[in-house]
Each structure stands twice: as structure tokens, then as C-alpha cells.
Amino acid sequence: MKRKITLWMSAAATAFGLSATTVQSEGGSFTPPQYSNFLSFGIGVVPDYIGSDDNFIGAAPFGIFGLGENRFVSIVANSAYVNVSKDKNFRFGPTATYRFGRDDDVDDSVVSLMEEIDDTVELGAFAGYMMELSDDIRDRATFGGQIAFDVGGVHNGYAASINARRWFPVGKFGVLGLGAAVTYGSGDYMDTYFSVSPVDAATTGLPQYKAGDGLRDARVMALFIHPITKNWVAGGGVYYSRILGDAADSPIVEDRGKKDQLIYGLGIGYVW
């Protein structure tokens, strides 16, 4: 059930702008530029876990809530971002992520035999810069990054990402968003999620493997949103990730999964 909850969240984030990444959201909010308050629910298809070649269908919420003076709270799947900056262009603030682990209920019969990885909480910060490129509020670009540290004692490391996004007006009311991001994982983080311990090797028959620090993946994404009434909008998103480095070489990915990850979904949202 824990795995299913993870994927429900990821599907919704894809439908209305997954920022990062992977089954876990990373890299800040991919927020539709013309809305200061936005709540959506989406349905989509996502990998079973990072590197899996099995998929799951599910749905969950995504939203942004304005706090006034350019400040906001954004919820993206299992992550929250609080922009405390009053500046129109610069954005920064704390982040919190509930990172799901890996249970024995994954579909892969071999990976399911590995030692379970508990859920954990990560705390960190994000920063970014937004540029308005014309008088149309939909026409803008954003650049940013974030870093989050494990405070739950599971991987005891950190993950850091940088991202870029570009929004284009489509017709009178629609908007197309394109984005790219990369994530770096510390040695402890990569070891927890991509290594195969001697115990796991003996249980599963996979070769022992120890993942080191480095780039975990690179991602590109596209999102289209269009109003259907004054307060209701519909949209769809697609997200492609290429797992890199030691993560890609892990037997969990190379032998039992795949390096190319695809997430896609549809959603409906309410704006005010």
C-alpha cells in the first residue's frame, strides 16, 4: 500500500507539472504562471520505483496557495515548498519532502526480496529566479535549485537538483510549459537506494554492488493546461528521465529495471 500511495502522488504531479522528478518530486514547483491559487487532481502512469520497468496507475492532488506579497506555499506530490521572498523575481525558502522507501510489495519478484527501505523525511531549501519575457503573464522563464537532507535517519545523505522551465502562451488562454532538471545524490543517498548489499545478493542472486555519489538522473518534461470554465482547467503532462552514473549501473536498474523512465498523466484543477 505504501508503494501505491507514492505513485498516486507522482501521477498527480505529472498531470499538472511534476518538477523533478523521478517517482519522488524534486526540483521545486512547476507552477502554472497565471494562477496564484490552484488545486488539482490527476491520474497518470508512473514507474513502480526509480529504475523500475513496471508501471502503476493512480491519482492524487497538487496545489499552490498564495500568501500575499508574492509569497506562496506549493504542494507537489510528496514535497512542500514555502516561498518566503516578497520579491517579484527572486524566490527562496524551506522545503520538506516525505521520501517513500521501497517495500516488499514491488512488482519485481527479485527486487521485492531485498531488504526494505523505510520512509523518511528530508528538509532543505530552494531558490530560484523568474523572468517575465513579455506583458503576457504566461510568457516567462524560471531557473532554480534545491537541496534536501535526510532527517529521518534512513539514508543520512542528501539530494540536490537544478532546474530550468519555460512557459509559452497558447492561444488566448492556454499555456505550454517545458522543463529540464538534473539531480545529484550524495554517497549515502545513492548507497541506500541503488546498492546491493551482501545480504541482498545472497537473497536475490543479484551481484553485490555499491553505488557512489554522483548524478542520479536527468529529466525533461512538458505540460499543457487550458481553461474549460472561469474556475476550472484541464491539462496533461509527460515526463522523461534518464538514470545516470552509479544509479544506472546498479543491478536494480540495469538487470531488473531500465534506465529510461516515462511518466504521463491527465488532470483537472480548480483555480481562484
The predicted-structure confidence for 185-218, as pLDDT tens digits, reads as follows 999 999 999 999 999 999 999 999 999 999 999 9
Q: Lowest mean pLDDT of 74-78, 81-85, 130-134, name the range.
A: 74-78
What does the pLDDT read at residue 76? 82
Calculate mean pLDDT across residues 170-185.
95
Higher-pLDDT residue of 190 and 6 is 190
The neighbour count for residue 214, using CB atoms within 10 Å, is 15
Mean pLDDT of the chain: 87
Is residue 29's pLDDT more than 80? Answer: no
List Cβ neighbours of 75 (8 Å cut-off, separation of 6 or more). Answer: 61, 62, 63, 64
What does the pLDDT read at residue 255? 97
Calculate mean pLDDT across residues 29-55.
80
- Residues counted in the chain: 272
- In our burial notation (b when 16+ CB lie closer than 10 A, e otherwise), range 164-185 reads ebbbbbeeeeebbbebebbbbb
Calculate mean pLDDT across residues 148-166.
97
What does the pLDDT read at residue 31? 55
What does the pLDDT read at residue 12? 40
HSE at residue 161, side-chain half, CA atoms within 13 A, is 26
- pTM (two decimals): 0.87
From 113, 103, 211, select the one nearest 157 (Cα to Cα). 211
